[in-house]
Amino acid sequence: MHGAFQMKFHISGRPLISDIVLAVLVVSYTACVMLVSRHTSYYDIYKLSGRDSVSFEKAVVTAVSSEKLENHSRQKGMVTGFQELTVRILTGQYAGKIVPVTNYLNYDTSYRFMPGKHLIVSVNATADEKSLHVFVSTPDRLFILCLFAVLIVLLLCAAGGRQGFRSVLAIIFTLSSILFVFVPLVYRGIPPVGAAVLLAAVTAGITLPLTGGTGRKTAAATAGTLICLCLAAGVQAVFCRLTMISGFTFGDTDSLMQIAAHSGLRIGGLLFAAVLISSLGAVMDIAMSIASAVNEVHLNNPSAEFRDLFTAGMHMGRDMMGTMANTLILAFTGSSLVMLVQIYTYNMQPNQVLNSNSIAVEIIQALSGSFAVISAVPVVSALSAQMLCKAGNRK
């Protein structure tokens, strides 16, 4: 019995130890890139005129002195008016201080607070600290957002087991790479497309082995992902040139120009980089699925030739490419939903709508992402079939 226990621990303990090591490595990587990416901003947005300053602090409502509120006559759920609140600041230099605050409720700030509710307040202080003005900013959403994220993580681990846990590590790695590696590189003057390709290579090279294991199928999926993203970037560049679209057509170009004046930011390539990043997940998904399907066919029939393996991958891909391309197009459409409602409301002319910067950019992004997904089917099928055939010939 003692020997059986030792054997059971040996079998289940090794994967557990490897997962713990992976978790430590991912957390260490995240901490390191966070530290390295820190920089001093060229302009302190929290400094006001003179030496006056503003900070955003956590606070809690201790009392509602009075309120005058009314429901909007046509928009359900919208409340307008004002509340006279008493709040206690919980963080920062003025933690513990109790101050009166007026909460104005409007169409975009329809936050009704009750005693005990936590919120974020803007604390404006003069340099001599003799004058202090506090304003309501937003509800304190951080705890709820973290709770939602933890719920998704637990659901992923419960449904996926060990693979689910590794998927969580892959998500953390990807987010860390985008926020603390890609963005700082672009800010320091690295071409956005080059940085996006590097991000795709690192992300695919780490996350695919994490979730799918190592082997020829993972190698084929990783190589196929990079090839398809580069092809999509090339196609997008051609059509952007033909339609005279560039990164300067972003809605926030003015603020980006100010940032570029004090950094190495290259605005023109941001559009291409955005498409590569937004398409990366879908391309990795379909690439890994096709590579796994081809590998399964090879395991069941080791003598299968290139044509048989390639055909199996194409059959698998045809079932997926439509839904994946549709997913990307719906994602880009969903981000433009408000604009679509406005277009419908004002009966805007097609010549104006279809040739506008905003619509043209969305169309180019959706089609470029779809191209990456569709091209992944033959590319990954061919790569997987070729790798497995070579491996079979060596044997």
Q: Which tens digits make up the pLDDT trace of 118-167?
A: 999 999 988 776 788 899 999 999 999 999 999 999 999 999 888 889 98
Contact 380, 287 (CB under 8 A): yes
Residue 173 lies in a domain: no
Say if residue 113 is in the same domain as residue 229. no
Which spans in 122-262 are helix H? 142-177, 183-187, 192-212, 216-242, 253-261
Q: Which has the minimum average pLDDT: 40-54, 237-251, 305-319?
A: 40-54
Q: Quick one: how far is CA 52 from the chain centroid?
A: 35
Do 230 and 105 share a domain, yes or no? Answer: no
- Portion of the chain with pLDDT greater than 90, in percent: 33
Say if residue 251's pLDDT is above 70.
no
| Same domain? 307 vs 199 | yes
**Single-letter amino acid, residue 363:** I
**Domain co-membership, 87 together with 215:** no
> Domain ends where: 108, 140, 172?
140
Q: What is the pLDDT of residue 1?
A: 43
Q: 168 by DSSP, 3-state: which?
A: helix
CATH of the domain at 238: 1.20.1640
Would you say residue 15 lies in a domain? no
The per-residue pLDDT for 302 is: 84
Query: Does residue 342 share a domain with residue 271?
Result: yes
**46-95 tens-digit pLDDT:** 777 667 888 999 999 999 999 998 887 777 878 889 999 999 999 998 99
Q: Which residues contact 77 (CB under 8 A, 6 or more apart)?
A: 110
Within-domain flag for 165: no
Q: Are 213 and 82 part of one and the same domain?
A: no
Lowest model confidence (mean pLDDT) among 162-171, 252-261, 291-300: 252-261
Give the CATH number, domain containing residue 127. Answer: 2.40.50
Q: What residues make up the domain containing 90?
A: 53-140
pLDDT at 368: 87
**How many other CB atoms are found less than 10 A from the CB of residue 88?**
16
One domain, residues 219 and 278: yes
Domain-embedded: residue 230 = yes
My answer on whether 211 and 338 are in the same domain is: yes
For CA atoms 361, 371, 349, 347, the dihedral sign is negative
* SS3 (DSSP) at 201: helix
Q: Return the pLDDT at 6.
A: 45
249 and 378 part of one domain:
yes
* Domain boundary residue, one of 74, 105, 140: 140
- Domain identity same for 287 and 387: yes
Q: Alpha-carbon distance 223 to 229, whole Å?
A: 10
Domain count, the chain: 2
pLDDT score, position 4: 43
pTM higher than 0.85 for the full model? no
pLDDT tops 80 at residue 392: no
Identify whether 231 is part of a domain. yes
In sequence order, what E strands does the chain have? 53-71, 79-89, 98-105, 118-125, 132-139
How far separated are the first and last CA of the chain, in Å rounded?
41
Q: Does residue 179 lie in a domain region?
A: no
Percent of the chain with pLDDT over 70: 93
Q: Is residue 271 part of a domain?
A: yes
Residue 7 — pLDDT band, cuts 50, 70, 90? very low
- Mean pLDDT (the chain) is 85
pLDDT value for 138? 93
Per-residue model confidence (pLDDT) at position 11: 41
Report pLDDT for 2.
Answer: 47
Same domain? For 105 and 204 the reply is no
Question: Is residue 258 located within the same domain as residue 374?
Answer: yes
pLDDT at position 272: 82
Q: Which residue has the higher pLDDT, 191 or 303?
A: 191
Give yes or no for residue 303 having a pLDDT over 80.
yes
Give mean pLDDT, residues 340-355.
87
pLDDT beyond 90 at 267: no
